[in-house]
Amino acid sequence: MSTRISAKIRAMAESDVLRLVPARIIRDIKRDDPHPLFKAFVIGGEGEWRPTIVGIGQTIQRWFRGAVQALGQKLNIGTKVFDGHEQTNAHDGRTAVGEVIGKTIEKVKDTISAIAVTYIYPQFKDIPFDVASIEADLSVPANMRAFEVDEPDVLAITGIALGNSAIDMPAFPGATLQAALQAFAEPQTRTQGGGGMKTLDEVKAAIQEGRFLPSQLFDGEVLVSDPVVRNHVKGEVAGEWNHRKRTDEAFDKARADWEKEKGDLTKQIGDLKISAIKPKAAETLVTILKERKIDGNAKLSKFVQKAVDKGFTPADEATLKKDLDKFVDAQLDEFKDLFGDAEASGGGQRAGQGGPGTGANEGTPGVTGDDLTDPKKNDFIPQ
């Protein structure tokens, strides 16, 4: 059954009112209305009420705490607010003067009360609304003028009607409007009589009391232009840059250390490989000296052996004999340059040539077995 219950004004801190309104709703309202008017009303509380029920008239109701809590819970954000009541609680043909934008259940003078914060549309903000009367659907005994209301009896809150206390009487004692404030009003010059623009300390205290975030008070462009914020951001960026620089330097050092360590390990492996091949190289040299008859010339053999010990570094076991043959060829050439062909007799042919004593001048000092002046032994001389 439709019920109407009235309330009127009581003081309430602006910060408390704003605390009940989501910041998103305030931002949306402020886009179209730079200086919105918010009013907070007590719309119900524990105790005896004398509301009017459509079709029955004035009743006496005893509201318990559960009913008041249900009243606050079932009041929806966006519920329409009207100028006074009509014959019924229907919305058809009625002009909304505002809407519900916040709600809470709190103690007011030791009484659990439901509070609604309303936004008054700009074209109606000059009307002196100081009484709020809910329009609700209740489950009540038929044709009874006195009964109790508990949680299951509150079905829905369909609207809120506003009025003026000079004309409208509240339905229950102590049910009053909590606050009326101009949100984000332009600052005024402080006058001798008080009021006007707040001091910086007052503003800070209000912000702390309301627990507002900087982003609720200023847009991003204003925040980033603040010197404190700008310097903080610069410090954060510089700290990040220094951190990255230290990280990069540490990485470069670690990479250089690894490259050096890798080089040292590669050299160690190479040295170990050479050390492993060297005994084989000594054996291969003995074979080469015999095959090329160099071992019969003590002076030449000693020269080659000494040169190999000092200057030959084996690279790979698979090519050891070939590499060693080339090295010995070079030593033979150097020996002949130093001591002449006569000293190299009895040995000293290059790799791939026949051994001494196979030519016409075999045994002749200073002449090798392969006489290259013989057309039969030199392909470059025509026969």
- Tens-level pLDDT at each residue, the chain (383 residues): 555 544 444 456 677 788 889 989 999 999 999 999 998 888 888 888 777 776 677 778 788 888 888 888 989 999 999 988 777 778 888 899 999 999 999 887 778 888 889 999 999 988 888 878 888 887 777 667 777 888 777 888 888 888 887 776 656 554 445 555 554 444 444 344 444 556 777 788 788 777 788 887 887 778 877 888 888 887 877 777 778 878 888 888 888 888 888 888 877 777 777 777 878 888 888 888 888 888 888 888 889 889 888 888 887 888 888 888 999 989 888 888 888 887 777 555 566 554 443 333 344 344 344 555 565 665 555 55
- pLDDT score for 355: 45
Percent helix, strand and coil across the chain, each rounded to 5? 40, 20, 35
Cα(58)–Cα(167) distance, rounded to whole angstroms?
17
Amino acid at 58: Q
Cα(164)–Cα(180) distance, rounded to whole angstroms?
13
Predicted structure pTM score: 0.44
Helix (H, G, I), strand (E, B) or coil at 130: coil
94: left (phi over 0), alpha (psi -120 to 50) or beta: beta
Using only C-alpha atoms, the chain has a radius of gyration, in whole angstroms, of 55
CA angle 287, 288, 291 (to 5 degrees): 85
